[in-house]
Amino acid sequence: MKIVVGIGGVTNGGKTTLTNSLRKALPNCCVIHQDDFFKPQDQIAVGEDGFKQWDMLESLDMEAMLGTVQAWLSSPRKFARTHGVHLQPGTPDTHILLLEGFLLYSYRPLLDLYSRRYFLTLPYEECKWRRSTRSYPVPDPPGLFDGHVWPMYQKYKREMEADGVEVVQLDGTRPREELFLQVLGDIYNSLLNHP
């Protein structure tokens, strides 16, 4: 059995923290981070807002990401071995792939591959504060959050809702352990109820 779980949502909403906790708790679990598929900095366009357009789907090599997901789908055991994931002996032939990223539900070819989709949200002030406390390889220029990051998040969230993409909304202000236990319970229920 193969289960693909999406952990998407707002920047600094807790996606990576939740994903890492799930990876440690779930057997035969691999992770693909959307951030690993950013195009080189010199290929990121500067928009009308004056900022490099990091928070747009076009800044990512989504075909490469899809290819990586398809490699896992075709052989989860081989994928796990080549990515240093220890497969637990004696567990049922169940394999779980966690996809983590901020634009997981905007790329059509990936949409039908998910068994479960989660979407972390934060209020504007909390998100801005968390973003300001993070250090990135390419530091945020002044005004990026209000001028680009937050508007792009709102745009893609509206599009996702307009397209009727079904997600389980998660409040990123809730305690990490609470979110982890909710999603872990959902995944285990999916495993138990899977035909």
Which sequence positions are flagged as catalytic?
Answer: 35
| DSSP SS3 for 167 | coil
Task: With CA atoms as reference, report the closest residue to 156 among 104, 100, 99, 115.
Answer: 104
Burial class of 189 by CB neighbour count within 10 A (0 to 12, 13 to 18, 19+): exposed
Task: With CA atoms as reference, report the closest residue to 110 among 56, 157, 55, 63.
Answer: 63
- DSSP type of residue 194: -
Task: With CA atoms as reference, report the closest residue to 149 among 163, 164, 134.
Answer: 134
Kindly report the backbone phi and psi dihedral angles of residue 96, in degrees, each rounded to the nearest multiple of 5, phi listed first.
Answer: -120, 135
Residues forming a β-bridge with 129: none
| Calpha distance 168→171 (Å, rounded) | 10
The two three-digit tokens of residue 159, written as one number: 């599009």
What contacts 57, CB < 8 A, 6 or more positions away? 103, 106, 107, 156
